[in-house]
Structure 1
Amino acid sequence: MSNDNDPRSKSGGGTTEEPESAKSRDVDLVVYGATGFVGRLVAGHLAEHAPEGVRLGLAGRNRGRLEEIRDGLGAGAADWPILVADAADDASLDALARSARVVISTVGPYARYGLPLVRACAEAGTDYVDLTGEVLFHRESIDRYHETAVRTGARIVHSCGFDSVPSDLGVYRLHRRVAEDGAGELTDTTLVVSDLRGGISGGTVDSLRMQIDAMKKDKQARRTGLSPYSLSPDSATEPDLGRQSDAAIVRGADIAPGLGGFLAPFFMGPYNTRVVRRSAALLGHAYGRRFRYREVMAVGSSSLSLVPAAAVTAGMGGLVAGLGFGPTRALLDRVLPAPGDGSGEKARANGRFAVDVYATTSTGAHYRSRVAAHGDPGYAATAVMLGESALALALDRAAAPEAAGVLTPATGIGQPLAERLRSRGFTLDVARR
C-alpha cells in the first residue's frame, strides 16, 4: 500500500486558498455525464437550488443530447455552456478541467471511465466530486494522482453520494462532538441502517460486476478488495485491532443498550467502512487509536430477527458468488437493473433513509449521531448530496478542512457539507446517550 498520502503532506500543511489557476475559470461547476440518469438529477438540483450568480455548465459526449437536457431545466439554464468531452479523449478532458473550478462526475463505472478525468482535474488544480463506491478505482486514484493533486491544490473528493456521505459525515460529526465535550476518543463505533427505502442502481450493479472480475483475475486486486485498510494512506501505520469483518451478524445489545434483535451486514458496508477508515487516517488518527468501525442494517427487533439477518447475509454472499460465475451471472443479468436504469419520479419521492452511528468513547461515554433524509437514497438523496458537495467546494472553501489531494467527504469538505445538507432538509444530529 502506498504511503505518504496525508492530504497535507506535500503542501506545507495544506491550504484553504483556491489554486490561482482555478480563480479565472469559465464556469464554477460543470456536471460531466449530464445526459445520464443521475447526471440529469444533479443538473436539476443545481438548476433549482444553486445560488444566483453561480456559473453552471453541462458536459458529456453528445452536444445535441446535452442541449435537450439544458432545455428541460427551465429558463434559468438557457445560457449554461455546453462542453463536449469524452473519457477516451484526453485533450477534451483537459479542456473540461481547465474550464471549471469544480467538476462533478456521474460517469461510471469509474474503473472503466473515471481515471482520465481524475488525472485531468488533479493536473489542472480543479476540484472534483463523484459517486464512486468502487474500492479498486478509489485505490488507483490515490496511488496515481494524490501527490499531483496535493501539488496543484486540487481536492479530489470521491464518494459524495449515499456512498459514502452518511457514513463519513456521521462518524466525523460524532468525533467533533466527543472532542468538544472532552469525552475522550472513539472506540467501538457501529453504523446501523435503521430505515431504508429505495431502488438498486443499475450502475452500482455494473460496478460490482467489474470489481468481481478484477479480483478474480488479479491477486493484488483481491488483496486490496479484501483489506479493511485498502484505502488508508499507509496500512503499516494502522492500529492492530484484530480481525475486522464487514459481513458479520451482530446482536443489537452488543452495539447499544436497548437496541434489540440481530442486525445483518449492510451491503454497502464493505466500501463505506474503508472510506471512514481513510478519513480517520488522513486526520492523523484523530478518531482514536482504538477506533473500530462497522456497518449493519436492522431487520427486526425480536429474537426471530436472526432468521432474516442470516438470510440477508446469505443473499449478499450468493449475489457476489453468482455474479462471479458465468452461467448464474447470465441469469442474474436478466433480473438485475441495467446500467442507466433508474427509479420513477414517484418512487424517488417516496424513498428515504436513516442511519444511526453508535459509539463508545475511551472514557466510557456513549454517543449517537443520526443522518436521515427523504428521497430515494441512490437517486434523489444522492443527487442532493453530490450537488451540495460541489457547491460547498465552490462557495465554502474557506470553511472546509485545510487539505488537498485525493480525499473523502469528511476530510475534503467536512462541516460545510453538513450545513448545506441540513439546509436541504437532511437530519444531522449528535447526542450523548
Structure 2
Amino acid sequence: MASTAPLPVDEEREFHLGILGSTGFVGNATKLQELKKELSIKYGINEQDIHTAVADVDDYRSLVALTQRCRVLLTTVGPYLLYGEPVARACVETRTHYCDLTGEMPFVSLLYSRHGAAAKERGVKLVSFCGFDSVPSDISVMLIQEKAIQLTNKPCREVKLAVRSIRGGVSGATLASALNVMGHRSMKSSYYLAANAVDTPQNRIEGLPVQPRV
C-alpha cells in the first residue's frame, strides 16, 4: 500500500526505527537493553543516545506521540485483532511506515479496509506478516519461482508448502493470537486476502508462459 506522496524525511524524525511492545512477550524476548549495548559497541554510539519511550495501545495520544517521532514503527503488540488497529491508525495519521509480526488474516483484512486508502493517499506503507507465520513460506515461494524461471523461463502456477516439523515452542502471545482467530472464516480459505493483494508490475506474470503446479 503505497503512493507517489513524499516519504517521511530522515532529518524530520527523531528515530529511524521504533519498536512498540518492549513490555510484552516478544518485546522482552528481543532484550532491548542488551541490544542497546550491542549497538553502542558496534556503531560507536553512546548507549545513552539510544532512547526508549512509553506508549500504551489504550492511550491513542501516546501512540501518536510515539509514531510521529519515528520514520518506521515495528509493533509486536498482539493479539493484533485486539490491540493492533489503533497503532496502525496512529501511523497513518502521522505518516509513519508500519510493520507487524501478525499471522492473523482477519486483522490484515481489517487493516486494509479501514486504513488502506488513507495510507496510499498519505504515502504510508503498511507491511504485515513479517514474522515466522509467513516469512519462511514467502521466501520459499520466491526461491522456487526464481529457480523455475531460471531453468524453464516459466513461473509455477501454484506452489503448495507443507511444514513437516518445527523446532522450539509456542509463545503465550502466539497462542493467544491463534485462539483469538480460531473459527474465523479466514482460517478456512486459502484466498481470503487475495482480493487485497498489492497490484504492482513485480506481482504480475502476464506474458510469461506458466508451468504446472509444484
- The answer to whether residue 27 in structure 2 is matched with residue 39 in structure 1 is yes
The separation in 1 between residues aligned to 2:206 and 2:140, in whole angstroms, is: 16
The separation in 2 between residues aligned to 1:187 and 1:160, in whole angstroms, is: 24
Q: 1:229 to 1:288 in 2, by over 3 A?
A: farther
Residue 401 of structure 1 aligns with which residue?
none
Counterparts of 1:190-205 in structure 2, within 5 Å, are 190-205=160-175
The separation in 2 between residues aligned to 1:28 and 1:20, in whole angstroms, is: 10
Q: What's the offset of the Cα at 1:21?
A: 5.5
Residue 109 of structure 2 aligns with which residue?
139
The separation in 1 between residues aligned to 2:181 and 2:211, in whole angstroms, is: 40
Q: Structure 2: where are the runs of 5+ without partners? A: none
Residue 230 of structure 1 aligns with which residue?
192
Residue 79 of structure 1 aligns with which residue?
49
SS at match of 2:98: strand
Matched residue type, 2:108: H
The separation in 2 between residues aligned to 1:31 and 1:24, in whole angstroms, is: 18
- The answer to whether residue 130 in structure 2 is matched with residue 160 in structure 1 is yes
Residue 286 of structure 1 aligns with which residue?
204
Matched residue type, 1:31: I
Q: What's the offset of the Cα at 1:364?
A: 5.8
Query: Does the 8 Å CA contact 1:105/1:129 hold for their aligned counterparts?
Result: yes
Query: Does the 8 Å CA contact 1:21/1:124 hold for their aligned counterparts?
Result: no
SS at match of 1:143: helix
SS at match of 1:78: helix
**Which structure has the highest strand share of the two?**
1
The separation in 2 between residues aligned to 1:173 and 1:44, in whole angstroms, is: 35
Q: 1:193 to 1:146 in 2, by over 3 A?
A: same
Residue 208 of structure 1 aligns with which residue?
178
Residue 62 of structure 2 aligns with which residue?
92
Counterparts of 1:411-422 in structure 2, within 5 Å, are none
Q: What's the offset of the Cα at 1:163?
A: 1.4
- The answer to whether residue 164 in structure 2 is matched with residue 173 in structure 1 is no
The separation in 2 between residues aligned to 1:53 and 1:98, in whole angstroms, is: 26
Matched residue type, 2:192: S
Matched residue type, 1:35: T
Counterparts of 1:269-280 in structure 2, within 5 Å, are 278=197
Query: Does the 8 Å CA contact 2:101/2:129 hold for their aligned counterparts?
Result: yes
Matched residue type, 1:362: V
Counterparts of 1:22-421 in structure 2, within 5 Å, are 23-42=11-30, 43=32, 46-47=35-36, 48=38, 52=43, 77-181=47-151, 183-212=153-182, 215=183, 222-234=184-196, 278=197, 286=204, 362-363=210-211
The separation in 2 between residues aligned to 1:99 and 1:211, in whole angstroms, is: 32
Q: What's the offset of the Cα at 1:39?
A: 1.1
Stretches (4+) displaced over 6 A: none
Percent identity over paired residues: 33
Residue 356 of structure 1 aligns with which residue?
none
Instruction: List per-residue Cα deviations over 1:352-386 (Å, max 9, x = no partner).
Output: xxxxxxxxx834697xxxxxxxxxxxxxxxxxxxx
- TM-score of the superposition, structure 2-length normalised? 0.81
Structure of higher CA gyration radius: 1
The separation in 2 between residues aligned to 1:21 and 1:94, in whole angstroms, is: 18
Q: What's the offset of the Cα at 1:118?
A: 0.5
Deviates further, 139-148 or 38-47: 38-47
Q: 1:134 to 1:365 in 2, by over 3 A?
A: closer
SS at match of 1:84: coil
Q: What's the offset of the Cα at 1:95?
A: 1.2
Query: Does the 8 Å CA contact 1:21/1:125 hold for their aligned counterparts?
Result: no
Matched residue type, 2:191: Y
- TM-score of the superposition, structure 1-length normalised? 0.43
The separation in 2 between residues aligned to 1:229 and 1:144, in whole angstroms, is: 20
Residue 312 of structure 1 aligns with which residue?
none
Q: What's the offset of the Cα at 1:175?
A: 2.6
Residue 19 of structure 1 aligns with which residue?
7
Q: What's the offset of the Cα at 1:184?
A: 1.2
Matched residue type, 2:132: F
Residue 62 of structure 1 aligns with which residue?
none
Query: Does the 8 Å CA contact 1:187/1:288 hold for their aligned counterparts?
Result: no
SS at match of 2:12: coil
Matched residue type, 1:40: N
Q: 1:365 to 1:113 in 2, by over 3 A?
A: closer
Deviates further, 122-131 or 222-231: 222-231
Q: 1:151 to 1:204 in 2, by over 3 A?
A: same
Q: Structure 1: where are the runs of 5+ without partners? A: 1-6, 55-75, 216-221, 235-277, 290-360, 367-433
SS at match of 1:190: coil
Q: What's the offset of the Cα at 1:36?
A: 2.1
Q: What's the offset of the Cα at 1:188?
A: 3.5
